[in-house]
Structure 1
Amino acid sequence: MFKLKAAAAALTILLVAGCSSDGQLTATGITITRSACPAVAIPAATGDVTLFNPESSRDASAIDVVANITNIRTTCDESGEHIVSNVTFDIQALRRDTRGDREVVLPYFATVVQAGSNVVSKSLSRVSLRFADGQARASATGSATGRVLASAAALPEDIRRQITRQRKPGDADAAIDPMADPNVRAAVQNASFELLIGFQLTEDQLRYNATR
């Protein structure tokens, strides 16, 4: 489980850096670019995980392993029927007790979300972190793929024309943001997707991350 509202709030739907432009709006020197590629984000409270020993304790002295997701890298292919986003990221971990070799396996999710709240797909994977004897740190690489129908991410033609129509200084609507129109805003939101990645946490782990 994770909080979609927090993830959506962290994303700028219109100004998304992506693979190619769906259209441009030029008005008094301002250019807006929209990509059909899903924005990539980590939902609130799922970017790190803390393991305890004993598991029931939440004392700082009982912290066993701490891991976090970092260095996210994304590629996107819009050439086919589906828009395919491939994401790789690093997982860095730190353990308290450095005695002996140890392997820690952590689950993580990749979820495609439409319009900020509609879950299109979700996959679960695992990553293995291997600590060498005497070493406090370990790292590994995770990956995820999100697929979106290109037709679902495309704006309706009338909306696209409204957004990309060039305005000239002096036009009555030259300084009006097209997104101020509720119909335009709703269409852009419905055609916007996010690829969310994070650790697959238990309710206790989510609660700890949210309240610490």
Structure 2
Amino acid sequence: MRIILPILALALVAGCSSTKDLAESLNTRQNAGACPPVGSVYDAARIVEFRDGSDELYSDIRYTGEITDVRSFCRYTGDNPLTAELEIDFAFGKGPLADANTHDFGYWVAVTRRNGKVLAKEFYTVTAQFDGNSPLDGATQTIDRITIPRADETIAGTNFEILVGFDLSEQELEFNRAGKRFRMDAGS
């Protein structure tokens, strides 16, 4: 017993030391400030695809899409760049003129300064998969890594924004700006 206790005590002290070293190596300090605000741009948060030459009637809808939620998880310490992971929730609808059970929607993710200046913009695609005769679908996309360089440790995440929107044609953008909308799940 006299031999076991000193060995056990030594193992505990060594364990604490290695745990402390591990925590320091993972740099577990808190963020230098808050994460950047994230969200979808109102005018680009939904898309209604009509038949070409349509009068914007319900009977002319091919597909619809809506960005329903955007979440981010970020990390930065010292003067390291800010890194963020983004999750985007989508809802999709298949209209009367849909011609397939899958449909690709283009969207973008932009990093801006709070004054609106775009620092970076990347384009992505999300695919709606309509099972059977279901006119509705949803998806969550994850953007694994967004890196925002910071000049120094005094620059907090709140100096930036991460914005998301559908890649719209001029006509689709005008439709949204006019406040028009169709939702395939209305009345459900």
Q: What per-residue deviation string (whole Å, max 9, x for no partner) do you get for residues 107-166 of structure 1? A: 1100000132211100000011111221111122223343212336734xxxxxxxxxxx
List gaps (5 residues or longer) in structure 1: 1-19, 23-33, 156-187
Residue identity in the other structure for 2:151: S
Residue identity in the other structure for 2:53: S
Number of aligned residues: 148
Q: How does 1:49-64 map to 2 (within 5 A)?
A: 49-52=47-50, 54-57=51-54, 58-64=56-62
**Other-structure match for 1:194:** 161
Percentage of matched positions with identical amino acids: 20
Within 2, Cα distance between the matches of 1:107 and 1:99?
Answer: 17
Within 2, Cα distance between the matches of 1:99 and 1:63?
Answer: 7
Indicate how the Cα distance of structure 1 residues 115 and 98 shifts in structure 2: closer, same or farther if over 3 A, else same: closer
Contact 1:86 1:143 in 2 (8 A): yes
**Deviation of the 1:44 alpha carbon:** 2.2
Indicate how the Cα distance of structure 1 residues 51 and 39 shifts in structure 2: closer, same or farther if over 3 A, else same: same
- Please state whether the residue corresponding to 1:139 is helix, strand or coil: strand
Within 2, Cα distance between the matches of 1:71 and 1:154?
Answer: 30
**Other-structure match for 2:121:** 122
- Is 2:104 aligned against 1:105? yes
Within 1, Cα distance between the matches of 2:122 and 2:104?
Answer: 17
TM-score by length of 1: 0.61
Indicate how the Cα distance of structure 1 residues 152 and 119 shifts in structure 2: closer, same or farther if over 3 A, else same: farther
Contact 1:111 1:146 in 2 (8 A): no
Within 2, Cα distance between the matches of 1:113 and 1:122?
Answer: 9
- Is 2:70 aligned against 1:72? yes
Considering only aligned residues, what root-mean-square deviation do their CA atoms show, in Å?
2.7
List gaps (5 residues or longer) in structure 2: 1-29, 181-188
Within 1, Cα distance between the matches of 2:98 and 2:172?
Answer: 25
**Deviation of the 1:56 alpha carbon:** 2.2
Within 2, Cα distance between the matches of 1:149 and 1:76?
Answer: 13
Within 2, Cα distance between the matches of 1:98 and 1:46?
Answer: 22
**Deviation of the 1:99 alpha carbon:** 8.3
Question: Whose Rg is larger?
Answer: 2
Residue identity in the other structure for 1:151: A
- Is 2:175 aligned against 1:208? yes
Q: How does 1:1-212 map to 2 (within 5 A)?
A: 22=32, 35=34, 37-52=35-50, 54-57=51-54, 58-79=56-77, 81-97=80-96, 102-144=101-143, 145-151=145-151, 154-155=154-155, 192-211=159-178, 212=180
Within 2, Cα distance between the matches of 1:51 and 1:100?
Answer: 12
Indicate how the Cα distance of structure 1 residues 152 and 62 shifts in structure 2: closer, same or farther if over 3 A, else same: farther
Indicate how the Cα distance of structure 1 residues 198 and 104 shifts in structure 2: closer, same or farther if over 3 A, else same: same
